[in-house]
Structure 1
Amino acid sequence: MELNVKIPVIVKQICLELNTRGHQAFVVGGALRDIILGRESPDYDIATDALPERIASIFADAIPYGNFGTMLLIRGNTKIEVTPFRDDAPGRKPHYTFGGTIYTDLARRDFTINSMAYDPITGQFIDPFGGLNDLKARTIRCTGSTKRVWEDPLRALRAARFQAQLGFAIEPSTMYSLKAYASMLDTISRERIRDELSKLITSDHPFDGLVTLVVTGLMNYIIPELMEGMGMRHFNKPADVLEHNLLACRYVKNSLHLRLAALLHDVGKPGCAVEGKKGLEFPGHHLKSVETAKHILKNLRFDSKTIKKVLLLIEHHMFVYSPDSPLSEARRLISRVGWQNIYDLIELRMADRLASGFNEAAGPGLKKLINDLEELKKENSDYKIKDLAVSGKELIETLGIRSGPIVGKLLNRLLEDVIENPELNSKRTLLELAEKYLKEELYEDRHYQ
């Protein structure tokens, strides 16, 4: 690999400013790794022998950031973290020691590909642990020793995350250490685990990272419910329940809520498996998956907006739409999930199909649904009660009824009528229908008294 280190001008200027004040300054960590790989990075890390107070005196806009003496500089849309060299023993510690050299600082870092340094002023490249060779070999290896993993158990999850982001392989001894100390992940906060998992599944190679979490046992301390599907075979799919979920996450479009929905869309299957004539069947698994996924996402401290969206997609991922389905079925589906979710639901169904062994992401039914949605856009409706030409207040005033459950019942019947035939959506027609339905309700009430 030809060494080509192109440091952005704004980052180089910060290093130059530190240099002119008598301090060393090196670009380090993931930003340097990504620059060498030709990947873009919105954030940069600079390691320096300047202490926090000195950094603050050089840069008036520096903001204290984190727990390790880091000072944050914002330059446009770019974040630059300037951190003093550390000279304490590696690991997670509430107390740490500034000082040492760039070499002692690099020795503390997790993986060799993150343990390189570059001085953009002098051009000096420092690589004491062979990180550049590992970049060439596309390998993730612990810096110095595999004990780097148990010094901070989150590094085990970071290894799988880097694998997912870069498409690299994990070196055997490092892989062994992930498995050997997997149980220590239980000491890490759910928020930190959530953040790493989110980065992993929204990477270019999520399946690779997820498989590493499974085979090392790390998944037992992240989403143990997924592991219950290992070895549970479908009679109509090539993969077991666990692998099917992982594959769906691999195939779905890259956004956090979609990747989460795909990963968890069948997580409830082990809880409702029954033996059928052809093999295991999973009646009502979408509802069980909603229940299980809700617990998982809350446990990982995901925000309520993300949870709500993921659960909605899981709940409706088993929708039926065939080449013979009328437009009313598409309207009904939009009424249930909303225009803002309908295309995500289609994306999830297509990933589900690919993970089930189909050659085409969209079958005849999905293709018709996509075409039908284009037609329905012309109607400019969400197919909700709010889109009806009459309101509950108007029903009360016109029909002389009191506010209560009957009003909601009438509105829902009217909505069903409009979904079947949008031409009925006029105030006069709906009021006539409502009066008819009210008489039917009153008749039934008298009949059963």
Structure 2
Amino acid sequence: MRKELAITVLQTLETNGFEAYFVGGCVRDWLLGRPVHDIDICTNAHPGDVIRLFPDHVPTGIKHGTVSVKKDGYLFEVTTYRTEGKYEDYRRPSDVQFVNELRLDLERRDFTMNAMAMDLQNELEDPFNGRGDLSERLVRAVGVPAERFQEDALRLLRAVRFAAQLGFAIEPKTLAAMKVTAPYLSHIAVERVREELNKTLDSQAPQTGCRLLIETKLFAYSPLLERLFEQAGAQAWRLVQLGSLSQKWSMLFYAADFDEEATRQVCAQLRMSKRETEAISTFVGILERINPEWDAPHELEWGPILLEVGWDTCRELAQIIQACWWTKHDEQFFESLQMEYEKMPVKSVKELAVTGLDLQVALQKKPGEWIWRVLNSLLSQTALHGLPNTQEALIEVAKKEVARDEH
């Protein structure tokens, strides 16, 4: 459906006397038989022409020649052929010039696989042999590699990410240039770095990404990140067994022998959200305590962990532990967790037959931190050690605990 709508955009441009091509990642992925999420179009029509031809549009980046055309809820970026001026901040060109020649537009792009254009007849414009590099399974920079990386240093991480996603090697001259230009990555906004790392960890070959990060020393400017990938690289292949990015990062930190404090430092450096930071540091903290050895499964006492963090977190934690034990993992492992959970007569403080107010009244004490401590002790004894969940029994035990603490 999306491609059919995009075809109508090309047809409108051609009908009105302009050239138009599919370009970049969508062409690459069509040739590879991969799913296509975004369809980009390039044309010799100027932004004003595109706006005139497509009243339903968003002026995404007119300064750089881009107008997003709306079609049935989808957006298609239509960009005028352009060349770019000098890059001054390792990210953006100081200016762009609109041109009439497709090749000039393609030669400003990052890698040969992304510097191909396809017309309505599926004819390929491929001046840098991108299709050949796809066949050879190579990531190769367009033109002079060092110049491409100096223009936009994020391309260093994009090369790593494409290698990991596609299972490609990086062409030798491109790889050599990455090692030379690696220091430029320190100039890139951390949010952009994090996004590329997320895509690398979420790829089909994250171990390839880790190996390349180590080999090219892209994170020499960040000792924590460099140590993370160096120490975790040998176990990175296990990440494909995990679903969420929080799980994948947690596994990586555990494999690198990072404690909870170092984990939080990296999360802060990468400006992860508070929610993601809390999830990752919780997983890492529990993994530290459990300390599962690689591919050496053993029984775990799930009860205290279930009471501490709940069912949902334990279920995700179990998946991480299974990845730690992947070559010898046991399909019954999740069943043992579920059985442990189901047999607990109470699963949270809210299910206890007493409340904090009940304890205050029964013990004639003022509110304070003691209430939460006693309630959690009662929960543990009720859920795991057979204490009856009745108000009478719970208050009796609470009195003894408070008396012991005061003594």
Query: What TM-score do the two structures reach when normalised by structure 1?
Result: 0.81
Question: Pairwise CA RMSD of aligned residues?
Answer: 2.6
Partners of 2:267 and 2:213 lie apart in 1 by: 17
Match of 1:353 in 2: 325
> 2:355 corresponds to which letter in structure 1?
S
SS of 2:96's equivalent? Answer: coil
Partners of 2:358 and 2:164 lie apart in 1 by: 57
Partners of 1:382 and 1:79 lie apart in 2 by: 51
Query: Would the alpha carbon gap of residues 252 and 313 (structure 1) be closer, same or farther in structure 2, given more than 3 Å must change?
Result: farther
Query: What TM-score do the two structures reach when normalised by structure 2?
Result: 0.89
Match of 2:58 in 1: 63
SS of 1:8's equivalent? Answer: helix
> 1:166 corresponds to which letter in structure 2?
L
Q: Deviations over 1:360-399 (max 9, x none)?
A: 134xxxx665223222453587833233221101211233
**1:402 matches 2:366:** yes
Partners of 2:281 and 2:30 lie apart in 1 by: 38
Partners of 2:273 and 2:50 lie apart in 1 by: 35
Which of 289, 294, 312 matches 1:340? 312
Give me the identity figure in percent. 30
Partners of 1:78 and 1:216 lie apart in 2 by: 38
On the 8 A contact 2:85/2:95 being kept in 1, the answer is no
Match of 2:404 in 1: 440
On the 8 A contact 1:19/1:25 being kept in 2, the answer is yes
SS of 1:27's equivalent? Answer: strand
Question: Aligned residues, how many?
Answer: 396
Q: How does 1:16-415 map to 2 (within 5 A)?
A: 16-66=11-61, 68-75=64-71, 78-89=74-85, 91=87, 92-120=92-120, 122-146=121-145, 147-221=147-221, 224-228=223-227, 241-249=231-239, 251-267=240-256, 269=257, 289-320=259-290, 329-354=301-326, 359-362=327-330, 369-378=333-342, 383-415=347-379
Partners of 1:72 and 1:377 lie apart in 2 by: 51
On the 8 A contact 2:70/2:76 being kept in 1, the answer is yes
Q: Which runs of 5+ in 2 are unaligned?
A: none
SS of 1:317's equivalent? Answer: helix
SS of 2:49's equivalent? Answer: helix
Q: Which runs of 5+ in 1 are unaligned?
A: 1-5, 231-239, 270-287, 445-449
Partners of 2:333 and 2:135 lie apart in 1 by: 46
Structure 1 position 434, deviation (Å): 1.9
Partners of 2:285 and 2:188 lie apart in 1 by: 31
On the 8 A contact 1:246/1:263 being kept in 2, the answer is yes
On the 8 A contact 2:106/2:116 being kept in 1, the answer is yes
On the 8 A contact 1:332/1:419 being kept in 2, the answer is no
On the 8 A contact 1:118/1:126 being kept in 2, the answer is yes
Query: Would the alpha carbon gap of residues 410 and 88 (structure 1) be closer, same or farther in structure 2, given more than 3 Å must change?
Result: closer
Partners of 2:345 and 2:383 lie apart in 1 by: 10
Partners of 1:191 and 1:331 lie apart in 2 by: 38
